[in-house]
Structure 1
């Protein structure tokens, strides 16, 4: 069985709540990213990087402070999935855009878990590339069915793990 860990940053607790639900579905370790180190990143077979976006699509500050450690970690051959939490209505101009900051840090890893638009409506998102989100996009406030979205993603993700 692969060692799966979810590393998250949360402001008001929405991302943490979504990660706890996701972690239960994947039997994954759940860690606030501010407790992570390069060695902890390297110990995992599968890393799930989760963050909410702030302001104009900016990554949570806890993640900004750990990006260098993530970038320096040896992720060669490891699988990485991304979970992006945002608000499609309030931040329609930059919905879940902050998570693109992960991409330069995981170049040697295998990105898994891309997801479909699946009914979300927004004007712009840096995380929506070539008709898919680079990971799982969640709107925990504006989407009452976000747990069902997680369930659907987990089925696809397990096939990629």
Structure 2
């Protein structure tokens, strides 16, 4: 499998900690990590891509991602496969759970990108989520208020699924 470019926004460090756990599921230095606060120009160098964002407030995308959405719109995704990760708090922000994830997905959908790794929304407690399409989340959803074993289990299942689509 080709190297995976992992691009994340992380204001408080929680999303960065989540994505760094990916190394457990892609153990042969298959992931290269990029904080989008420094830009997203490196995306063009990868065919396998993971984008991760937390949500803030009323389901808003993380600030560094918000500042890069127009740059994301300018990228040619025709030969790229993308997995998405959304982090959020289902209990405090259950009315618009992981809304930032949907903002990333919307850009990719407009670009006809190949997005893989939709996941079941069961097992969470929230009122509504813009990140659900056809009954599934548009990516892996992590609430780090879950115990670590639950997070790792969800990540392992998702990683195995997206590996099937990555080149």
After TM superposition, the score normalised by the length of structure 1 is 0.93
Q: Is the 8 A contact 2:98 2:141 kept in 1?
A: yes
The aligned counterpart of 1:112 is 116
Moved over 4 A (4+): none
Counterpart among 85, 88, 100 of residue 87 in structure 2? 85
After TM superposition, the score normalised by the length of structure 2 is 0.90
Structure 1, unmatched stretches of 5+, are none
Q: Is the 8 A contact 1:87 1:142 kept in 2?
A: no
Deviation at 1:118, TM superposition (A): 3.6
Deviations 1:110-153 (A, max 9, x none): 01111112411110000011110000001012344112111111
The root-mean-square deviation of aligned C-alpha atoms, in Å, is 1.4
The aligned counterpart of 1:131 is 135
The aligned counterpart of 1:5 is 5
Q: What is the rounded CA distance, in whole Å, between the counterparts of 1:133 and 1:5 in structure 2?
A: 21
Change (3 A) 1:98 1:37: closer
Matching of residue 48 in structure 1 with residue 50 in structure 2:
yes
Structure 2, unmatched stretches of 5+, are none
Q: What is the rounded CA distance, in whole Å, between the counterparts of 1:117 and 1:102 in structure 2?
A: 18
